[in-house]
A and B are shown apart, each in its own frame.
Chain A
Amino acid sequence: MAEEERKNWRRRLKVPKTAVVDEIITIKTMAEHVMEPGVRRDPETGVIYPKKIIDAVICRFNGQQIYRSQWFSGVSANPFMSFKMKAVTSGLVEVEWIDDYGQSTYKKAVLVVYDNEGKEILPIKIDNINSNKDIM
Chain B
Amino acid sequence: MSLNSKKYSRRSVITFLSGLIITVCSKAANADFKAGQPFRDRFQTYRQTFRIEPDPEEAKRIVKNIIKGRELRKNLISLNAPDIAENGNTVPISFYVNCSMKNDDFPKTVHILVLDNPFPEIAKFHFTPYSGEANVSIRIRMRTSSNIVAIAEMADGTVGETQSYVDVTIGACS
Chain A positions within 8 Å of B, measured between CB atoms, are 24, 37-41, 46-48, 50-51, 59, 61, 64-77, 79-88, 100
Contacts and interface: CB of A to CB of B under 8 A. Distances in A.
Contact of A86 (B47, B122, B130, B138): B130
Interface stretch (B3-11, B76-84, B111-119, B154-162): B111-119
A103 to B, nearest CB: 14
Interface stretch (B16-24, B35-43, B64-72): B35-43
The 9 A-B residue pairs with the shortest CB-CB distance in the complex, in nearest-first order:
A86-B132, A74-B122, A84-B133, A66-B130, A37-B174, A24-B132, A70-B124, A76-B139, A68-B126
Interface string B83-126: 00000011100000000010000000000001001111111111
Contact of A66 (B128, B172, B173): B128
Given A38-B49, A82-B136, A85-B130, A48 B39 contact: yes
A39 B52 CA distance: 8
Contact of B122 (A38, A66, A72): A72
A48 B50 CA distance: 7
Interface string B30-66: 0000001011010000011111100000000000000
B47 A51 contact: yes
A59 B141 CA distance: 23
Nearest to A83: B136
Given A37-B173, A76-B139, A83-B131, A70 B126 contact: yes
B130 A77 contact: no
A74 B49 contact: no
Contacts, number: 124
A38 B47 contact: yes
B127 A81 contact: no
Given A70-B124, A70-B125, A85-B131, 11 more contacts: A46-B36, A50-B49, A51-B48, A70-B123, A71-B123, A72-B121, A73-B48, A74-B119, A74-B122, A75-B138, A86-B130
Contacts of B101: 86
A50 B131 CA distance: 35
Given A39-B118, A48-B50, A50-B41, A74 B174 contact: yes
Contact of B49 (A51, A77, A87): A51
Given A38-B49, A39-B50, A66 B139 contact: no
A25 to B, nearest CB: 8
Contacts of A83: 125, 131, 135-136
A40 B119 contact: no
Nearest to B109: A70
A135 B127 CA distance: 41
Contacts of A73: 48, 119, 141, 174
Given A47-B39, A70-B126, A73-B174, A84 B132 contact: yes
B140 interface: yes
